[in-house]
Amino acid sequence: MYKGAHEARAFAARLRHLPDRATDVDVVLCPPFVSLAAALQGLGSESRVQVYAQNVHWKLEGAFTGEISAPMVLELAVKGTIVGHSERRQYFGETDETVGKRAAAAVEAGLNVIACVGETESERERGETEAVLERQVRAIPVHDRLVIAYEPVWAIGTGKTASPEMAQEAHAYVKSLHSARVLYGGSVNPENAASLLAQPDVDGALVGGASLDPTLFEAICLAAAKTLAA
């Protein structure tokens, strides 16, 4: 819940040419609903940066006050959406079932999807990481426009980061359950991005707090490009 329309437009304008420098990296911005149109304006029609929403409902329309449907964001020329982010699960009652329904509705409508999964700190301490991931991943549809983001809840906004080895282990397990590419999300920053993205099963990053600063976000994207070129 950062960056209203004015800030989002300026942020997007600053990053509109980033794909030219971060070669072969897909760059996606996910602003709040009220800032989607402004971000697209800031990027302009020629930019290869894409804009995704932060969530969509599983119904096309109806009496669901406060929700936004896939056709509504498509009408803005938004290309995709996040579903199942850990904060949606933690604060707003999102379940594996509703995440699956949102993902299925989004891809059916023509959106790309980033579907989020990940365990809490207590679940990891109890040795339940694989069981949690299996339950969450099994609820997500298989589709060529869908990627999964593994975001260990204990590493989101805490400054803690899964070690590259921990990330690799979790990503390999997710890929044993689902054919999608898998992004890592959890306190990614310019200092740890290269080591995380160098892991064979880490296909990208879902960047949280560091994405609020365009300089930091650009540095992460450039680290991804350098890793790809290595």
**In this model, does residue 159 exceed pLDDT 90?**
no
Maximum pairwise Cα distance, the chain:
51
The residues, ordered by sequence, that sit 6+ positions from 207 with a Cβ below 8 Å of its Cβ are: 185, 188, 217, 220
170 and 150 Cβ atoms separated by less than 8 Å: yes
CA distance 207 to 29: 10
Dump pLDDT digits (tens) for 78-90: 999 999 999 999 9
Dump pLDDT digits (tens) for 55-86: 999 999 999 999 999 999 999 999 999 999 99
3-state SS, residue 195:
helix
Q: What is the pTM of this model?
A: 0.96
Average pLDDT over residues 32-49: 98
Average pLDDT over residues 161-168: 92
Domains in the chain, ordered, with CATH?
Answer: 5-229 (3.20.20.70)
- Extended strands (E) in the chain: 28-29, 50-53, 80-83, 112-117, 146-150, 182-184
Average pLDDT over residues 90-109: 97
Can you tell me which residue has the tokens 């310019």?
Answer: 190
Dump pLDDT digits (tens) for 172-226: 999 999 999 999 998 999 999 999 999 999 999 999 999 999 999 999 999 999 9
> Nearest CA to 101 among 85, 118, 84?
84
- The set of catalytic residues is 85, 151
The residues, ordered by sequence, that sit 6+ positions from 28 with a Cβ below 8 Å of its Cβ are: 49, 50, 51, 52, 79, 80, 114
For residue 32, name the pLDDT band (cuts at 50, 70, 90).
very high
> Nearest CA to 152 among 125, 194, 107, 184?
184
* Token representation of residue 93: 């009652």
54 and 91 Cβ atoms separated by less than 8 Å: no
52 and 115 Cβ atoms separated by less than 8 Å: no
174 and 150 Cβ atoms separated by less than 8 Å: yes
CA distance 207 to 204: 9
Q: Quote helix, strand, coil % in the chain, to nearest 5.
A: 45, 10, 40
> Nearest CA to 51 among 74, 69, 20?
74
